[in-house]
Amino acid sequence: MARDNNKRIKRKVRNAYVVSTVSIALVLFLLGAVGYLILGALGATQRLKENVTVYVMLEEGVSAEDSLALKTRLEGHEAVRSARYISKAEAAAEFRTYLGDDFVEFLEHNPLPASYELRLSARSSDRETLSALERQVASWNGVDEVVYQRSVVEQITSNINKFNLILLLFGATLLFISLILLNNTIRVTVYSKRYIIQTMKLVGATRWFIMRPFLAGSVLQGIYAGLIAWGMLSVMIVGLNEGLPEVRFVTERTYILAIYGAQMAGGVFISLVFTGFAVRKFLRMHTHKAFLY
């Protein structure tokens, strides 16, 4: 009878350990997946900002020397990533392709000015920076006007800010809920061993002596959970990249390794901290209350 009870207790302890390990792994996977998607969204945001185009229209009759000097000045600006010169003939050819008709022949002259097509850095594509760039460049000699789609830039900035805020709030909410659930799960695991803790207290074991095996086991539990989370996240990454090849997900090894490292460190940290709190609770509890708990 006693042997059956021992087997039943060991089975319950083992099941509780497995459940808590899987729970930690699932939480780590969800957090890693959210982090991967956030990095992907930030990368898409940066690419979107870098695609903002600004056209610097040149005055009629600007000399080649002045145009070259203007290009050097534009490329030296901190907000400009690249500057491409578009001659009057190239502008007419592009516009002819867009219209599908030769407007130069109809007008008998080319009204389009030469210009520079600017590509900006991601951090310089917000409305305030663009407005400052417009005022500054428009005052330079040889520049007729600065043209860009203000409404599109404002809409992009607004949508990006909203999207990033939603992702961050979602990640923070998921983290908060996950930590609460993990705390309860790990506490149940330690609860299944409360009789062992109280027995060790009765024979005079010190608190550190009692806590040490629990903490060592929690470190191993965090490692196991991290490995499981690695496997799940790897399957998700491969599935996303193969199933949605048209979407540019994060593929840089540095970022992916950083997520893996954060998962493993998070698993060990969460398991260690919550196990420590749970064991301390039962260590402080009086023996007669533990058996009634």
Quick one: pLDDT at residue 292?
44
Is the same domain home to 215 and 281? yes
**Mean pLDDT, the chain, whole residue set:** 76
**How far is residue 112 from each of residues 59, 61, 104, 108, measured CA to CA in Å?**
11, 12, 10, 12
Is the same domain home to 256 and 135? no
Is the same domain home to 43 and 60? no
Taken in order 150, 155, 161, 167, the sign of the CA dihedral is negative
Quick one: pLDDT at residue 208?
78
Is the same domain home to 143 and 190? no
Quick one: pLDDT at residue 10?
63
Say which CATH number the domain at 70 has.
3.30.70.3040
Quick one: pLDDT at residue 26?
85
pLDDT, tens only, 35-52: 888 787 777 777 777 777
Is the same domain home to 193 and 233? yes
pLDDT, tens only, 80-113: 888 888 887 777 777 667 666 665 555 556 667 8
Percent of the chain with pLDDT over 90: 2
Residue at which a domain ends, from 89, 119, 147: 147
Residue at which a domain ends, from 147, 182, 215: 147
Quick one: pLDDT at residue 51?
75
Quick one: pLDDT at residue 288?
52
Is the same domain home to 275 and 185? yes
Quick one: pLDDT at residue 2?
46
pLDDT at 281 over 70: yes
Is the same domain home to 40 and 172? yes
pLDDT, tens only, 212-253: 888 888 888 889 988 999 999 889 888 887 777 766 677 678
Is the same domain home to 169 and 199? yes
Is the same domain home to 204 and 258? yes
- Residue 186 — pLDDT band, cuts 50, 70, 90? confident
- Residue 132 — pLDDT band, cuts 50, 70, 90? confident
* Domain around 19: 2-47+156-290
Quick one: pLDDT at residue 293?
46
Quick one: pLDDT at residue 168?
77
Residue at which a domain ends, from 100, 125, 147: 147
Quick one: pLDDT at residue 13?
60
Is the same domain home to 170 and 89? no
Is the same domain home to 195 and 286? yes
Rg (CA), the chain: 32
Is the same domain home to 161 and 285? yes
Q: How many domains does the chain fold into?
A: 2
Least confident of 66-70, 101-105, 175-179: 101-105
Percent of the chain with pLDDT over 70: 77
Backbone torsions φ then ψ of 118, nearest 5 degrees = -100, 135
Quick one: pLDDT at residue 227?
92
pLDDT at 153 over 80: no
